[in-house]
Amino acid sequence: MRSNLTTTALIAALIWGLGTLPAPAATPPSDSPDPGAAPTCAASRQGPVDKSDVPAGVDVVDCRLVGRVISDEDSGLSAPVPSPGETVSVEGLSVDGRSELTVAVDESGTITYPADHHADTGASQSVAVLAGLKTASVGPSECRQTAYRTTGWKVYGNFPWWVGDGARPAGLSTKQFRSVISRSASTITSSRNDCGLGDVVGATHSSRGSTTKEYGHRDHVNVIDFGPLPRKMAGLTTTWSVKHAGRNKVVESDIRLNRNGFAWTTSPGSSACRNRIDVQSVLTHELGHTFGLGHVSNRSYPRMTMSDVVEPCSSSARLLGKGDVRGLAALY
Ligand SMILES: [Zn+2]
């Protein structure tokens, strides 16, 4: 954090809880079929809704879909339908590449699925690949590669986070988990890198204790926990944002690490490490999403924190690469 922004951060922290929209007015329940109902309200009444049953253009307020979980077969991801005016994005980090799902609902209640969630914010998608390609031929180095992507949202002020109470890998206490999260978040908010680059982030984070809230619900609590996730997904970040001058403003961001699908470690450099994923590396990557960074390709930029593939027994994502820092500099 930059110290001269303390006042700004404090003010932003104060309005954090006010920056969210009220829940939409409930539509009165109706037992009899409404002959005038739009034919597009085809979703089942209970359980997850298939994305193909809720095409772009459906009014999710009329169809009473706000809060219902939409499942997308293509990405293997799901997200709760946001309230009017909000956009929700899920970013997945796996062993074989990225998965992303974005669901946006405009002020009038109309749902869309921006294929590129950068496009619906008015913020330009920043891709700086040329410099990265030039240096790729001399071997991967996180201090020479300059590629980054931004998502279109950012944290204004402070990001308070809570530790979820879901079961964690054996040996990882709440205290340890909180300390790893704190280090990971500070890496983003202090632009920690080993390339000699200075701090570019005018935003902060703060630890707020434990919660029984769970990942993936729009409950105004930023939860970081372990729990079940789709196969191959090491970590997921679900971020809700609202329109704001410039980049969208983050109003909630939840992070989950896959409890059952992976073996985790806090010592990836240990000679005993076999096929274990570093908790801090994945958390730093996921918090990068929270603060507005998107993925870069692992094939071209394997040493970037925002590389889209997680590698066992690697700690390279713990510190930012030059591209990651440039991305943050573009945001903050
Ligand atoms: Zn990711």
Distance, CA 298 to ligand 1 centroid (Å)?
A: 11
Distance, CA 308 to ligand 1 centroid (Å)?
A: 6
Q: What is the pLDDT of residue 123?
A: 27
Range of the domain at 148: 3-19+40-331
Neighbours of 239 (CB within 10 A): 28
- Helices within the chain (DSSP H only): 6-15, 130-136, 174-189, 279-290, 322-331
Percent of the chain with pLDDT over 90: 67
In a domain, 198, yes or no: yes
Distance, CA 134 to ligand 1 centroid (Å)?
A: 24
Q: What is the pLDDT of residue 137?
A: 35
Q: What is the pLDDT of residue 98?
A: 79
What is the average per-residue pLDDT within 193-201?
Answer: 94
* Residue type for position 180: V
Distance, CA 303 to ligand 1 centroid (Å)?
A: 14
Distance, CA 196 to ligand 1 centroid (Å)?
A: 25
Asked if pLDDT for residue 252 goes beyond 50, the answer is: yes
- The model's pLDDT over 272-301, given as tens digits with 9 standing for 90+, comes to 999 999 999 999 999 999 999 999 988 888
Q: What is the pLDDT of residue 302?
A: 87
- Mean of all residue pLDDT scores within the chain: 83
In a domain, 242, yes or no: yes
In a domain, 30, yes or no: no
Dihedral sign computed on CA atoms, order 267, 164, 321, 158: negative
Q: Which residues surround ligand 1, an ion (CB under 5 A)?
A: 91, 93
Cα–Cα dist 78/76, whole Å: 7
Q: What is the pLDDT of residue 159?
A: 98
How many domains is the chain built from? 1
Q: Which of 23, 106, 95, 34 is nearest to 66 (CA)?
A: 23
**How long, in residues, is the chain?**
332
In a domain, 35, yes or no: no
* Residue type for position 117: H
What is the average per-residue pLDDT within 22-32?
Answer: 45
Query: Do residues 161 and 208 make contact, with C-beta atoms less than 8 angstroms apart?
Result: yes
Extended beta strands in 86-202, E state:
86-94, 98-105, 111-112, 153-154, 158-164
For residue 94, the SS3 value is strand
Distance, CA 4 to ligand 1 centroid (Å)?
A: 30
In a domain, 26, yes or no: no
Q: What is the pLDDT of residue 1?
A: 56
Distance, CA 325 to ligand 1 centroid (Å)?
A: 16
**For 182, phi and psi rounded to 5 degrees?**
-65, -45
Tokens matching residue 167:
């079961």
Distance, CA 224 to ligand 1 centroid (Å)?
A: 15
Q: What is the pLDDT of residue 183?
A: 98
Asked if pLDDT for residue 251 goes beyond 90, the answer is: yes
Comparing 18-27, 183-192, 258-267, which segment has the lowest mean pLDDT?
Answer: 18-27
Distance, CA 187 to ligand 1 centroid (Å)?
A: 16
In a domain, 31, yes or no: no
Distance, CA 106 to ligand 1 centroid (Å)?
A: 25
Asked if pLDDT for residue 16 goes beyond 60, the answer is: no
Distance, CA 233 to ligand 1 centroid (Å)?
A: 10
Q: Which of 86, 71, 89, 88 is nearest to 23 (CA)?
A: 86
Q: What is the pLDDT of residue 2?
A: 53
Distance, CA 152 to ligand 1 centroid (Å)?
A: 15
In a domain, 237, yes or no: yes
Distance, CA 88 to ligand 1 centroid (Å)?
A: 15
Distance, CA 282 to ligand 1 centroid (Å)?
A: 8
For residue 21, the SS3 value is coil
What is the average per-residue pLDDT within 220-239?
Answer: 95
- The model's pLDDT over 73-87, given as tens digits with 9 standing for 90+, comes to 988 999 999 999 999
Q: What is the pLDDT of residue 278?
A: 97
Distance, CA 63 to ligand 1 centroid (Å)?
A: 32
In a domain, 29, yes or no: no
Which band of pLDDT confidence, cut at 50, 70 and 90, is reported for residue 45?
confident
Query: Do residues 151 and 284 make contact, with C-beta atoms less than 8 angstroms apart?
Result: no
Cα–Cα dist 219/223, whole Å: 9
- The model's pLDDT over 113-172, given as tens digits with 9 standing for 90+, comes to 987 544 322 222 333 333 333 333 333 478 988 999 999 999 999 999 999 999 999 999
Question: When comparing pLDDT for 249 and 20, which is higher?
Answer: 249
Asked if pLDDT for residue 261 goes beyond 50, the answer is: yes
What burial letters (b/e) apply to 1-11, b meaning 16+ CB within 10 Å?
A: bbeebeebbee
**Pairing between β-strand 158-164 and β-strand 223-227 as defined by DSSP bridges:** parallel
Query: Do residues 313 and 294 make contact, with C-beta atoms less than 8 angstroms apart?
Result: no
- The model's pLDDT over 303-327, given as tens digits with 9 standing for 90+, comes to 899 998 888 999 999 999 999 999 9
Query: Do residues 159 and 250 make contact, with C-beta atoms less than 8 angstroms apart?
Result: yes
